[in-house]
Chain A
Amino acid sequence: MEFLRPATWDEALAAKAEFPTALPISGGTDVMVEMNFDVHRPSAILDLNRITELRQWEITDGVVRLGASVPYARIINELSEPLPGLALAAHTVGSPQIRNRGGVGGNLGGASPAGDAHPALLAAGRDVFVEVASAARGTRMIAIDDFYVGVKRNSMEKDELILRVHIPVADGPQQFSKIGTRNAMVIAVCAFGFALHPKNGTVGTGIGSAAPTPRRAVAAEEFLQGVLAERGLWESGDLLGAEVIQQFGELVKAAASPIDDVRGTADYRRHSLAVMARRTLTWTWNDYSKQIRSAA
């Protein structure tokens, strides 16, 4: 097995071009587990730990440019305000040790439907982009909606690496809920991310572990956006009412296509998605209402 340790981003891209089957590793919280289980015996490992850009974030023009290897612990400590949904998701990742090592790049690279970051990224809006690069073609931006293409498959080319993720700074409340059968260190049975985007009058959703890929509940988003616009609720901050909340939950549930597995039944996943959708909508809307009223 080749072990490649590029010192710079350009060297990393060159190495990936030369060894397209090389498995990138940063925190190793996913890669090492799979190697221990003999799932992978890659011909080469590409260690990205020396590349400083991957461990940095910055905010420019209202967008967080989050390096692929910024660990979850730093997302919690440093980015809870601009990225509240992702920070809540980061809280649910593994143990403190795992959160000190793992980052969003690993979630995106693995593209597991159970990755905790995905629902939060999907909910964060249509302007979330994954910035990837190759030695041959340079940088390109993949919209988050186009990123997940199948079970543990993303839309990257073999010679590409993930540099960073572009996520708009939150302009409204965001929430993230995850079901696990214990109270910490648990892989998602299913998960739901939700965000209000008052600036453009949209809402964002993300479903985890309940379909072959992470996905949005598009009909639920459209329904809710319609209600909010028609009733002038963005302006008034008035109560949504039980029927709207209920209907939103049902539409989220309908958007999932879960399976039965050792972690839970498909029925339970659908049921709990509806509950999480109702609750996260309620929490975010309550927060939003408070903001409107305190501003008024």
Chain B
Amino acid sequence: MSTRTIQGQKNLQDIRTGSPDGIGGSPLRPDGTLKVKGEFAYSSDLWHEDMLWGMALRSPHPRANILSVDISEAVKTPGVYAVLTHDDIPGAKFYGLEIQDQPALAKDKVRYHGEAIAIVAADHPETARRAVKKIKVEYEVLTPIVTEEQCLNPEVYGYVHEPHEFKSHGHGNICHSQKLVSGLGVTDEVRAMADVIVKGEYEVGMQDQAFLGPESGLAVPSEDGGMDLYVATQWLHVDRQQIAPVLGIPEEKLRLTLAGVGGAFGGREDLSMQIHACLLAQRTGKPVKIVYARDESFFGHVHRHPAKMYYEHGATRDGKLVYADARIVLDGGAYASASPAVVGNAASLGHGPYVIPNVRMDAIALYSNNPSCGAMRGFGAVQACFGYETQMDKLAVALDMDPVELRQLNAMSEGDYMPTGQMIDSPAPVAELLQRVKDMPLPPPLDLTNLDVRTLPGALSNTTHGEGVVRGIGYSVGIKNVGFSEGFDDYSTARVRLEVIGGEPVAMVHTAMAEVGQGGITVHAQIARTELGVEQVTIHPANTEVGSAGSTSASRQTYMTGGAVKYAAEAVAQALIEKGRKRYGWTHNDLSLIGGKVVSESAGALVSMVDLLGDDAIDLTREHHHRPTVPFDKETGQGFGHVQYTFCANRAVVDVDVELGLVKVVELTAAQDVGKALNPLSVVGQIQGGCTQALGLAVMEEIIVKDGKVRNASFTDYLIPTILDVPPIPVDILELPDPNAPYGLRGVGEAPTVSATPSIVAAIRQATGIALNRIPVRPEHLTGTL
């Protein structure tokens, strides 16, 4: 076991555990400098001679019947090449990640504000925009179905999807549901066993991924009647699987190549402009580019599910949890997207990293006329963590216990069971992580004699010179699964080629992994160097010429595709050694590739790889499947549903101007077990980034929806943290290997996004004494002016 505290880049030098460029080192990312200097080619920079620009007409209403669509004026606009509606789609009319319930273009009705109805291709974006404005749509506007009460009473308020067109697993306006019972469940008898009971209702607002690179891509029709699509996405193969049927072409005729991705966070797991660009290219025979403007981007991707949650916990007088009960209602919006998986996570992870003998859970996702919600970093687990961690603090108050000690007393560890009945069969250092954040030195108190307004709530807005400022400290811990769950085989494929180029052995790694900023390509090169003993590694562009790499989500890419690269590289190494055995008759069984040579541990270097390879290339492809999981039982929630678990603990220190309700997060500490840090710099970056996104949810980030309409589709009013909002984030990393995972690693990206939000809210609560049952916390909550 090795652990270390990292506070900024300087100390990273100390924690390099491998060769500088192999695993455990922190070689710099090839895209980093380009991005900082503005030279990186994003998907929005794509260009093709003779290309057209595509644009969509979107509904201003969250719920309406479409009585007619008149495109005649738009078609006549000079420079317009095509105007398409639902009727022009050659193949399947609907698509979806899991459930094909979303029309490629709206037919007869619209179900959310911003739904695409028609698309235009023109020779200039301004021409396309003008043509879009000339499309006349006659609507019969209906009252949107937007509240839980309305959704759950469809016979009164209506159906988002009529029963005859309903495609999901639920019924009425319920898209998906999952119950869970373990131990004795929650009954009056069980309640009677508890000395102290705390209850609460909690609410999470609609967060957005707020990636900076808007949805964009370029579709280029090919001579074989197929299509080449260059696009910023999270999963090339699942895009292809959804697009090809709509175009009415076989999958092999649709070739996808990853374009430069400007952030994703789950928001690119669903399709956005892909089908529209392809349809227009197919119709016009010309390349078509689509780039969303910022406001369109807010309508063009799914968001984090807003949640309403009821929690109840019972404990003995000495703080041992007796039971936990919860009901989680997630608003999935108009279409299913990833709602079923979000419900599965909320139900199975929704009681946190605690040992609780008796548990009940009921999680549902609603269909509504609100914006569609789907994948976002930590989904299902983020919402629930705010609920159960707030409950832990409440329980600590009720028991007059230290909130960290209460959590540690009930913390799960290796060998314990999840409420799903799944045993935790690798390290789960929950109590240890809490101890580590607690033991970190606290930041110094506010120094009012040496006033720098930038360090105060409000900063340069100059709202306080210390008046009303109260400090608070809060703690939290969270749990997240890694990889796809519930029986899904989200395998990854990697192709590794080894050959001599310019007198040097060179490895080439080819996968379809979407590099969305997580640093995966850097890690792939590190793995190839470690396994093949080479210095030079080329990363092939990600495309569909190689098998699926699964999605860049669920904290899974280093585990899954990194694992595939490891296995492919090992196979290549074995093949090269076999070649040597055949040629030289080696009988050693201690051979490996190091420093460009085949090396025997006992006999030393045997031959250079250059000599052994000669003009040959070894080119092998391997798939990596994680251990199988099973779906959760519908009624009891029991089942070996998750691949791996990951944990993060946080301590937040905040200064709150209690008179104005303004918050400055002073420090946000994180401790996380990562199994093995393949690239420590990237690991720290992931944890700090995850904490920052959690900070956004705690104090500012929310898509405001009123009667189904989005009110703040811009970065003027959808606020994300700036450099003055993000505090120092000291990171304490544990490396406790998971025997089931490649290199023992544990997925990193999501756990801090799950756990950090409640610590910040707890700190604000401590400073203000206000209950705070809703996030994001707004100044109105803190000043009683809502």
Partner-B contacts on A (CB < 8 A): 33, 36-38, 88, 91-92, 175-187, 189, 262-265, 267-268, 270-272, 275-276, 279, 283
Question: What distance in Å separates the Cβ of B82 from its nearest Cβ neighbour in chain A?
Answer: 22
Q: Are A263 and B780 neighbours in the complex by a CB distance under 8 Å?
A: no
Please, could you name 14 A-B residue pairs with CB atoms under 8 Å apart, sorted by A?
A: A92-B460, A177-B462, A179-B660, A181-B779, A182-B700, A183-B664, A183-B724, A184-B459, A187-B717, A262-B704, A265-B785, A268-B661, A268-B785, A275-B463
**CB of B465 closer than 8 Å to a CB of A:** yes
Q: Are B780 and A186 neighbours in the complex by a CB distance under 8 Å?
A: no
Give Cα distance in the complex from A180 to B663, angstroms. 11
**CB of B783 closer than 8 Å to a CB of A:** yes
Q: Majority SS of interface residues in chain A?
A: mixed
A88, A183, A186 pick with most chain B CB within 10 angstroms: A183
**CB of B5 closer than 8 Å to a CB of A:** no
Q: Which of B26-34, B319-327, B427-435, B708-716 contacts A (4 or more CB under 8 A)?
A: B708-716
Q: Are A181 and B293 neighbours in the complex by a CB distance under 8 Å?
A: no
With contacts A92-B460, A182-B721, A264-B778 known, what are 7 further pairs, Cβ within 8 A? Answer: A37-B293, A91-B460, A262-B717, A265-B786, A272-B660, A272-B661, A283-B465
**CB of B467 closer than 8 Å to a CB of A:** yes
Q: Are B463 and A177 neighbours in the complex by a CB distance under 8 Å?
A: yes
Question: What distance in Å separates the Cβ of A40 from its nearest Cβ neighbour in chain B?
Answer: 13
**CB of B589 closer than 8 Å to a CB of A:** no
Give Cα distance in the complex from A101 to B660, angstroms. 31
Q: Are A268 and B779 neighbours in the complex by a CB distance under 8 Å?
A: yes
Chain A residues whose CB sits within 8 angstroms of the CB of B612 once the complex forms: none
Q: Are B719 and A186 neighbours in the complex by a CB distance under 8 Å?
A: yes
Number of residues from B at the complex interface, CB < 8 A: 41
Chain A residues whose CB sits within 8 angstroms of the CB of B660 once the complex forms: 179, 272, 275-276
A183-B458, A183-B459, A268-B783 known; A262-B711 Cβ under 8 A: yes
Q: Are A88 and B722 neighbours in the complex by a CB distance under 8 Å?
A: no
Give Cα distance in the complex from A5 to B704, angstroms. 41
Question: What distance in Å separates the Cβ of B222 from its nearest Cβ neighbour in chain A?
Answer: 34
Give Cα distance in the complex from A265 to B784, angstroms. 11
Q: Majority SS of interface residues in chain B?
A: loop
Chain A residues whose CB sits within 8 angstroms of the CB of B129 once the complex forms: 38
Q: Are B462 and A88 neighbours in the complex by a CB distance under 8 Å?
A: yes
Query: What number of residue pairs across chains A and B have CB atoms under 8 A from each other?
Result: 104
A38, A91, A262, A276 pick with most chain B CB within 10 angstroms: A262
Chain B residues whose CB sits within 8 angstroms of the CB of A268 once the complex forms: 661, 779-780, 783, 785-786
Q: Are B779 and A185 neighbours in the complex by a CB distance under 8 Å?
A: no
A184-B725, A279-B467 known; A179-B779 Cβ under 8 A: yes
Q: Are B725 and A37 neighbours in the complex by a CB distance under 8 Å?
A: no
Please provide the 9 A-B residue pairs with the shortest distance between their CB atoms, ordered closest to farther: A268-B785, A183-B459, A267-B785, A183-B724, A184-B724, A178-B461, A184-B722, A262-B711, A91-B460
Q: Are A267 and B780 neighbours in the complex by a CB distance under 8 Å?
A: yes
Q: Are B464 and A279 neighbours in the complex by a CB distance under 8 Å?
A: yes
Q: Are A267 and B700 neighbours in the complex by a CB distance under 8 Å?
A: no
**CB of B457 closer than 8 Å to a CB of A:** yes
Question: What distance in Å separates the Cβ of A30 from its nearest Cβ neighbour in chain B?
Answer: 11
Question: What distance in Å separates the Cβ of A169 from its nearest Cβ neighbour in chain B?
Answer: 21
Q: Are A262 and B461 neighbours in the complex by a CB distance under 8 Å?
A: no
**CB of B229 closer than 8 Å to a CB of A:** no
Give Cα distance in the complex from A72 to B693, angstroms. 31
Q: Are B722 and A267 neighbours in the complex by a CB distance under 8 Å?
A: no
Give Cα distance in the complex from A181 to B294, angstroms. 21
**CB of B723 closer than 8 Å to a CB of A:** yes
Chain A residues whose CB sits within 8 angstroms of the CB of B780 once the complex forms: 264-265, 267-268
Give Cα distance in the complex from A124 to B781, angstroms. 34
Q: Are A182 and B462 neighbours in the complex by a CB distance under 8 Å?
A: no
Give Cα distance in the complex from A92 to B463, angstroms. 11
Chain A residues whose CB sits within 8 angstroms of the CB of B724 once the complex forms: 182-184
Give Cα distance in the complex from A182 to B129, angstroms. 34
CB < 8 Å neighbour of B293 from A36, A91, A264: A36
**CB of B118 closer than 8 Å to a CB of A:** no
Question: What distance in Å separates the Cβ of A246 from its nearest Cβ neighbour in chain B?
Answer: 13
Q: Are B785 and A179 neighbours in the complex by a CB distance under 8 Å?
A: no
Give Cα distance in the complex from A182 to B700, angstroms. 7
A38, A181, A185 pick with most chain B CB within 10 angstroms: A181
Chain A residues whose CB sits within 8 angstroms of the CB of B467 once the complex forms: 279
